[in-house]
Amino acid sequence: MHKQLTFEQRHYINIARNNDKSMRTI
């Protein structure tokens, strides 16, 4: 379970970073 949570957190963190970069670019 802990590994799955870490994997999901990494995935969502990547999306959040991409969204943040896109918003900053705009």
CA dihedral 6, 7, 8, 14 (to 10 degrees): 100
Q: Give the global pTM.
A: 0.49
- Considering only CA atoms, which of 16, 2, 4 is closest in space to residue 24? 16
**Residue 17 pLDDT:** 94
* Dihedral angle, C-alpha 19, 12, 14, 8, nearest 10 °: -170
List pLDDT tens digits, range 1-26.
Answer: 667 778 889 999 999 999 888 877 75
Residues spanned by the domain of 2: 1-26
Number of domains observed in the structure of the chain:
1
